C-alpha cells in the first residue's frame, strides 16, 4: 500500500480549500510536517501483516 506519489504539501493545500479551512502561513509548515509524520506512521500500520483467521471485534472494550 505504498504510495510514493503522495505529495503532502499538495494534500494539505487541497484539503484546506475543500474544507474551507484556511491555514495561516505561520502554521502551514507545521501542519505539513505533522501530516508527513502521520503518513509515515500510517504506512507502518497499513503494512503490518495480519493472519487471515483474525476476526474483527464487534465491540471494543478497553
Mean pLDDT per block of 10 residues along the chain (62 residues) reads 76 96 95 94 92 85 80
Chain centroid to CA 24: how far?
A: 21
Could you tell me the pTM of the whole model? 0.68
Q: Contact, 23 vs 31, CB < 8 A? A: yes
- The pLDDT score that the predictor gives to residue 9 is 93
Amino acid at each position: 500500500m505504498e504510495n510514493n506519489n503522495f505529495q503532502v504539501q499538495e494534500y494539505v493545500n487541497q484539503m484546506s480549500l475543500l474544507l474551507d479551512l484556511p491555514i495561516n502561513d505561520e502554521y502551514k509548515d507545521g501542519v505539513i510536517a505533522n501530516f508527513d509524520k502521520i503518513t509515515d506512521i500510517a504506512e507502518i500500520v497499513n503494512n503490518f501483516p495480519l493472519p487471515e483467521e483474525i476476526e474483527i471485534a464487534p465491540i471494543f472494550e478497553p
